[in-house]
Structure 1
């Protein structure tokens, strides 16, 4: 895996990103990433407690927690997003995962337009187990803006443009970022078992040309009627190769 950092205690490697999440994770040899989806969103604090108990019951260390998918009530300002992330990272720090400003856990955090939870909540999480099932990975969510800039707003692709061509430009940027991140793990769309799209704007005008022809939707593509977590972002995606997925009711 190029451009990745091993996390031996967790059984995975990660692609460094920003303080709130990594760009993606891939299971180390001898391990497999598995995914658990909550039937209904679970508020963050209760979700962390449930996941902790789940990992302990499975005989896995807390460091095996390698990715999560969150749902939030609405889009954040940049300052609000940073404040939320500092609280989120506090739990990972207490778990011995987040250290010295480095977060190996991949993440998506989006805002359902209809039926959003009242508080930030878990939709799903991923963890590692010893296994010879073969390579598995989870790529973190990305919107139409480069990570690591001094601010988001000055760098949004086609900012404020939700026309078909504006949305196509946003999608192209995000698809390219998904491909860049997968390449760090030596993977491509041919390896993907699930691709997820988050936007409240139409995607049909470019779905075939930009997604299907790339192989993005070889297992279909799941479209969530949701917004990225920061105001003025309109399109987000994440993707994964996970061979074992479970739904639980909490």
Structure 2
């Protein structure tokens, strides 16, 4: 059984949701701040970092494919050089905002399609890990549990933080069910809380194909842009505390 767990949320992605994002920061222990690839800008990064600092929440960069039109949730046919340039710029923008706010960069977590593509593409995972190691040496890389990202992080000399998602269904292969498929997103706050507790305590969840699946994770993610995100965050935190878990930022392994 995991004695401790981190609860994180992706923030700073929609200006109209800034108040909700800040409210979520009262509940989570770490956050991933959009840094320009799929969403976010200098103003939103500054606001989220200031709010995170005030609440003692660990903050990390949330870079993505350069695809604001599709919110970074579409795989891009992009050259390694162009992707590298974009990711370096995004991480640098976040680093500048973090330096201005006097907030340490706790981790780097890719977003959306980039995150999912890295899980099964060893070359892409290595590219991302190498970029992160050059831009922010020693900063943990967050990736899908049981994926290529862990080996890539270790090869680049980075700690790895394994992540599981409380509001997404999983396939039998321990991958996220594509968003376009029915039932891919778990909508009910109570069901999200139950899945979070299962991950954190080592219990099995039911995968899309009906099999039992256990996933070892260091951090649990709630998407802040989902319906009932704030209500869900509160329910998840309560469920984890009820299970006797210590909730704190993940250090990587």
Tell me whether the two structures share a fold, i.e. TM-score over 0.5. Answer: no
| TM-score normalised by structure 1 residue count | 0.31
| TM-score normalised by structure 2 residue count | 0.30
- Name the structure where helix makes up a greater proportion of residues: 2
